[in-house]
Chain A
Amino acid sequence: MFFYIIKRILATIPVMVIVALFVFLMLRLSPGDPAAVIAGDYATTEDVERIREQLGLNEPIPVQMYKWIAQLARGDLGTAIFSKLPVTTLIGQRLEPTLLLALCTIIFTVLVAVPLGTIAAYKAGSWIDRFVMLFSVAGFSVPIFVLGYMLIYVLSMQLKILPVQGYKSPFEYGLWEFLRHMILPVITLSVIYIALIARMTRATVQEVLQEDYVRTARAKGQSEFKVLMFHALRNAAVPIVTVIGLGIALMIGGVVVTESVYNIPGLGRLVLDAVLARDYPVIQGLILFFSFIYILINLLIDLSYTLLDPRIRY
């Protein structure tokens, strides 16, 4: 397995290079100009041109690309055009809120979705099953921002039990303040994943429950709880973990919306701001970072299969 991991890590290098080149070219070929944004509304054409020159944006694209790749090779993601801060600093400032939001969402999602899906499968056709399916359809259908505004209206504005917005670091403000500010964003972001994973869990567990070894377990006198937990759910784990992994990767899009609605200063908002301002180094750095995370998650999922299913070996 060690060689497999090394092979997979090495395989990320060409992927990252292709992503880097693609992102660089896409940005340079798409409309928009950071110099015009910097100069402001009342600058003259002359001013914009001087700023472009200063930023090196007038250099031929291959020269700009060469400089960027050389920078990357030194492990430097560059400096933001607007704030003049290193891209790594910007990512570092925003990493904690996004990471904790994603982590809390995953934990909450798994804790809710897997039991819901399992119970729905076990009680297939019952009102619980119908409720879970109804929830799944609703969860898929309601856009994140609509749900976010609804939760803010009810829980923050009317009942006044939770804050409207913001992020409080647990390391600075304590666990309670952190959780108070995280409850609504986590619920908002997790609903769609709960819907997805509960549905997937239901289908997979229901299939496994028809297997001979489940019947054997029951015949041996195992309790229904044990049958569900150690025979059905464990054997259904591989597809469920795959969906959870894909969900984490897809979460990047949801994070952008959730962070905007709840005013959380995370990476999602950094992407959005950088795109609107055409801050090329920040966009490039972030896309590379997200690509790396995506690849890493996929690797971890693949490795987790060996723990969940002893038949899988690399």
Chain B
Amino acid sequence: MLKWTRRNMLAAIALAIPLGFGGMAATDATAESVLRVIPHADLKNLDPIWTTAYISRNHGYLIYDTLFAMDENLAPQPQMVESWTTSDDGLVWTFKLREGLNWHDGTPVTAADCVASLERWGKRDGMGQQLFAVMDSLTATDDDTIVMKLNAPYGLVLESIGKISSNVPFMMPARVAATDAFEQIDDYTGSGPFVFQKDLWVPGSKVVYTKNEAYVPRSEPVSAASGGKIAKVDKVIWTYFPDQTTAVNALMAGEIDYFESPSNDLAPIMEANPDIVVEVNDPLGNIGFARFNHLLPPFDNVEVRRAAIMAMKQEDYMAGAVGDPKFWSTCYSVYPCGTPLANEVGSDVIKTGDIEIAKAALAASGYDGTPVVIMQPTDVPILSAFSLISAEKLRAIGMEVDVQAMDWSTLTSRRALRDPVADGGWNIFHTWWIGADLIDPMAIGFSGNPDKGWFGWAEDAALEEARSAFAMATTLEEKQAFGRTVQERLWAIGASGQLGQFFTPVAYRKNVTGLIKSPVQFFWNLSVD
């Protein structure tokens, strides 16, 4: 047994002194400006081309740069590109890189790096695949010139290489971009305004980025992803909080500066604190969906799908799952309300929101009483609530409903199954898409090709034709016309139920300034006073 002899006590003091002074030394060394952030999710992997996860995309924006970037009007603007030209027939595009671009290891960014990066991205991203399908060649003619030759005029060249959300075509050194598109990269050298500190990365907890002192920002003012990316803090530290209550407490206690995605129901607590600002930073918000499995009965019948949609009153979903009306609105366009293609053509079916009309439509559809399996992800509160509301609505119109509770991971694997319900299949799951991913018909969720499309596997040749025509359109009028056709087809086939547009606020302490209004979270331009 340890006795408190003089010798033991001296030993304990000797141990305590360096430990105590170690703390003082650590405090003295922290004169740099640090932005302490709670990100919306844990950064599980570091390759924003390998995964579509938004947290990996946000990580990508910190350390990589893009050839083009969307401004706040969702128009592509040059970012790494200095100038570009298009041939009269629209088939040859020439891009010139701007001066002063360097990788984090100090070597210059070359056109060959950018070609390799685009090629890797083109193997994974939907828009990238479409672009490469009309491409004859993509070459680096010298160190700072990229030439893209197309086999047909294509209306989404800049929109594709400047897309704002996953998968963003981030530029990587050629040696990194040479990695198989279905394998993760293990070299995180970028050319963006911040540098990833791999040695300090603790998966599930902490990510540290330091300012890239050599980064040369553009001279234009910042506008969403475009303009001058000026790192105004020395360090950005992401600390992942699995518990929302603790996260809010940490923000209010001043242990954290910025909380990217607090639950809407915690907003009133933070709003009551005079040191905290709670605001909606993403003008497009998120769009909720009820996705049908088009392959299995009863939703292999278009009339049954449309009857179900008629019962889905957006106000009920939004009030039940999101709550405070200042964080949601109804939206009867497949493109987020407030974006250039938004319209209400063909939207009568989703505006119905009436149980009696839906009941009559179901009776006329030939529904035979086949039970409907709804997958309910209980670990995602909004989606869990959507699932329960759908269950009540479908029961109310006379459908047999089986709500199966599971976690989101299980749901994501099960929704990939095309098998009958008895073999693990499903009928409905709920999700949301961020508005920025739905701004045009190229979103994978709007696909009408069951072989290459999204889970639920909608099939409609006219829909696919309109999507292809949209991609080829070169004027805004043409794009709007094809955009309307796509929407009409989506409602006509009852591809999905649309449940409303909702907004998740950000919360930050008042000493944080320079927030950029955007559907994606950026960390340049932010400073801590």
Contact = CB atoms under 8 A, between A and B. Distances in A.
A76 interface: no
Contact of B23 (A163, A164, A177, A273): A177
B52 interface: yes
Contacts of B453: 44
Interface string B403-434: 00011111011111010000000000001010
A171 B249 contact: no
Contact of B246 (A168, A171, A263): A263
A83 interface: yes
B204 A164 contact: no
B11 to A, nearest CB: 14
B467 to A, nearest CB: 15
Prevailing SS type, chain A contact patch: helix
A270 B255 contact: no
Nearest to B412: A36
A277 B409 contact: yes
Interface string A253-282: 000000011110100011011001110000
Interface in A50-106: 50-51, 53-54, 80, 82-85, 90, 93-94
A165 B249 contact: yes
B208 interface: no
A136 to B, nearest CB: 26
B457 to A, nearest CB: 8
Contacts of B124: 47
B349 to A, nearest CB: 24
B204 A265 contact: yes
Contacts of B166: 40, 42
A164 B413 contact: no
A42 B454 contact: yes
A260 to B, nearest CB: 5
Interface in B242-268: 242-243, 245-247, 249-250, 252-253, 255
A273 B25 CA distance: 33
B4 to A, nearest CB: 14
B444 to A, nearest CB: 6
Interface string B13-31: 0001001111111100000
A39 B21 CA distance: 47
B255 A166 contact: yes
Interface residues on A, range: 35 or more
B184 interface: yes
A149 interface: yes
Contact of B19 (A153, A174, A263): A174
Contacts of A157: 249, 252-253
Given A40-B51, A42-B433, A32 B203 contact: no
B354 to A, nearest CB: 31
A125 interface: no
Interface string B172-206: 00000000101110100000000000000111111
B239 interface: yes
B42 interface: yes
B99 interface: no
Contacts of B23: 168, 173-178
Contacts of B61: none
Given A42-B437, A42-B444, A152-B249, A90 B203 contact: yes
B445 interface: yes
B491 interface: no
B455 interface: yes
A130 B246 CA distance: 35
A82 B45 contact: yes
Contacts of A276: 379, 407-409
B452 interface: yes
Contacts of A84: 45-46, 184, 186
B410 A165 contact: no
A156 B253 contact: yes
Interface in B40-76: 42, 44-46, 50-53
A51 B206 CA distance: 26
Given A45-B416, A51-B182, A164-B255, A273 B19 contact: no
A42 B52 contact: yes
A37 interface: yes
Given A32-B413, A40-B166, A164-B255, A263 B22 contact: no
Given A54-B183, A164-B250, A263-B243, A85 B203 contact: yes
Contact of B412 (A33, A156, A165, A174): A33
A198 B474 CA distance: 78
A46 B452 contact: yes
A173 B410 contact: no
A33 B204 contact: no
A174 B410 contact: no
A273 B26 contact: no
Contact of A260 (B243, B250, B407): B243
A13 to B, nearest CB: 31
Contacts of B250: 164-166, 263
A43 interface: yes
B242 A263 contact: yes
Nearest to A48: B416
5 contacts: A44-B444, A164-B246, A173-B22, A173-B26, A269-B204
Given A166-B255, A261-B243, A263-B243, 15 more contacts: A31-B410, A36-B409, A38-B50, A38-B53, A39-B51, A39-B52, A46-B452, A83-B45, A83-B201, A149-B245, A152-B249, A164-B255, A166-B239, A166-B250, A269-B205
